[in-house]
Homo-oligomer: A and B are copies of this chain.
């Protein structure tokens, strides 16, 4: 299908808001295929969204790029930890494998994300990073990084900040996993994906999912069927449009504030009413329903000493 073709084309190399003024290397796909690419510290910092240390141009340190094909592993559980990884392009998942060999998806890293932090402790990786599309990854050998930290105190500081950021992200994930309904989980998953895409310069309202329903379900603590059903429900309500992995967010506000969908029988009425009116009213309708089943679980908790 056209969709499919478009999708693959896009995942492998989306048109990039390039900062073309770079002298050494421009981030263009064509340049890479014949060999490796290298990035300097400044590029790395930019990618990680941390302030670059004032470059002392003499001791210019370069970092190697490595390409992974979809399905390949960047690192595996138990593997010796030697290097951190920064995603320059492509999409991945990180997973935990439990005692029975089942995957538990922990995150879906993309451009600008840092991989491998979990290996610092124990010198072994606790999780596994798998490429969901072809990826371009920058190697940041931990020894090199440590040495650099000694020269640039800001760098060390920035790395603490990145790790802290990651920790907060996981905390929010924990909160979401234990407190939200299936619908709310899926809704937030979609909006947060959208936000990440738009931060990278892509459309935050229309994008392709790089992962299967199963992987989404694992990430959110749901079954793939529940994910599929929830997406279908959102689609019927006009909150999103979904065709396989092609997603368009139609009512981001409703998705963000949604806590629980009305029961199916009530929903039918709504969509009937919708068909009578202009579709712009959907947002209001749904918003009105949002907040009905508020505080189903922790509502008795009051944050007072």
Selected from B96, B100, B119, B295, the residue in CB contact (under 8 A) with A100 is B295
Q: Are B178 and A221 in contact (CB under 8 A)?
A: yes
**9 A-B contacts (beta carbon < 8 Å):** A96-B171, A98-B179, A101-B301, A121-B162, A150-B153, A160-B163, A167-B170, A170-B170, A177-B178
Interface residues of A in 216-230 (CB under 8 A from B): 218-223
Interface residues on A, range: 35 or more
Interface residues of A in 67-110 (CB under 8 A from B): 71-73, 95-98, 100-104, 106
Q: Are B221 and A301 in contact (CB under 8 A)?
A: no
In the complex the two chains form, what is the Cα distance from A172 to B95 in whole Å? 11
How many copies of the polypeptide does the oligomer hold?
2
**Does A24 sit within 8 A of B, measured CB to CB?**
no
Q: Mark A126-152, 1 if CB is under 8 A from B, else 0.
A: 111010000000000000001001100
A172 and B96 in contact, given A164-B119, A177-B177 (Cβ under 8 angstroms): yes
Residues of chain B within 8 A (CB-CB) of A72 are 305
Q: Are A179 and B221 in contact (CB under 8 A)?
A: yes
- A residues with a Cβ closer than 8 A to B are 3-4, 71-73, 95-98, 100-104, 106, 117-121, 126-128, 130, 146, 149-150, 153, 156-157, 159-168, 170-175, 177-179, 214, 218-223, 294-295, 297-303, 305
In the complex the two chains form, what is the Cα distance from A225 to B37 in whole Å? 57
Closest to A76 in B: B303
Q: Are A103 and B170 in contact (CB under 8 A)?
A: no
Closest to A69 in B: B305
A102 and B156 in contact, given A117-B164, A127-B171, A171-B170 (Cβ under 8 angstroms): no
In the complex the two chains form, what is the Cα distance from A118 to B101 in whole Å? 32
In the complex the two chains form, what is the Cα distance from A279 to B73 in whole Å? 48
The 9 closest A-B pairs by CB, nearest first: A178-B221, A102-B298, A121-B164, A120-B164, A3-B305, A121-B165, A71-B305, A104-B175, A170-B170
